[in-house]
Amino acid sequence: MNRSIVIYILGHVLKLEAILMLLPCIVALIYQENSGFYYLGTSAVCLLIGILVTRKKPRNNVFYLKEGCIATSLSWILLSIVGCLPFWISREIPSFTDALFETISGFTTTGSSILSDVESLSHCALFWRSFTHWIGGMGVLVFLLAIIPLSVGSNINLMRAESPGPSVGKLVPKMKYTARLLYYIYMYDSDSDCTSYSRRNVSI
């Protein structure tokens, strides 16, 4: 098994989550909430570790379905553990197990929650909790396909491990552009749903 490429992908996952975690910091800055420092600190540590891990590219960047499944499983575990840290460190969700459950529920778009009063969270935490659902809706590894330079034929194995269903196909010849196109459709569809939802509320 090509362990180096799996670790390399996990490093990119850490860097991507670090960048995404900066958005709650902006929300905290707007609402002047101190909880944003926990997200900023977690983001900084993730970014540092991710840079150190991906500093050296693997000699062999070809991997097969086995590596794709392992990379996918470990990526979602890593995403959930790191994503729950701000909830737990800020004590907005005092139990680590509860914070982990809440984050896993978000990234898997399950929708379950251990919170009896969700609105009691800070604006920063509410944004991150909602944002995990948006991230999980498409799959973070699909986004990574658009930016990670992998050998020809390897991208499809990562896509197969990430996507549900018995078969996965390409929309365009290159998997990189397929991933970009899928995210464009996903973001456009999400924006359309929000617009139609707002219009329904206004009409009501």
Please report the pLDDT score of residue 19 as a whole number: 92
Identity of the residue numbered 121? L
The span from the CA of 55 to the CA of 200, in Å, is 49
Closest by Cα among 4, 15, 140 to 61:
4
Per-position pLDDT tens, the chain of length 204: 778 888 888 898 899 899 999 999 999 999 999 999 999 999 999 999 999 998 888 877 666 777 777 888 888 899 999 999 999 999 999 999 999 999 999 988 887 899 888 888 999 999 999 989 888 776 666 656 655 555 444 555 565 555 555 454 444 445 556 656 665 665 666 555 544 433 443 333
CB atoms within 10 A of CB 16: 22
- Three-state DSSP state, 113: coil
Please report the pLDDT score of residue 8 as a whole number: 86
Query: What single-letter DSSP state applies at residue 32?
Result: T
Please report the pLDDT score of residue 174 as a whole number: 53
The span from the CA of 194 to the CA of 199, in Å, is 9
Does residue 115 contact residue 102 with C-beta atoms inside 8 Å?
A: yes
Does residue 121 contact residue 39 with C-beta atoms inside 8 Å?
A: no
pTM over 0.85: no
Please report the pLDDT score of residue 117 as a whole number: 86
Identity of the residue numbered 33? E
Please report the pLDDT score of residue 196 as a whole number: 46
Q: What letters, b where the CB count within 10 A reaches 16 and e where it falls short, cover 136-162?
A: bebbbbbbbbbebebeeebbbbbbbbb
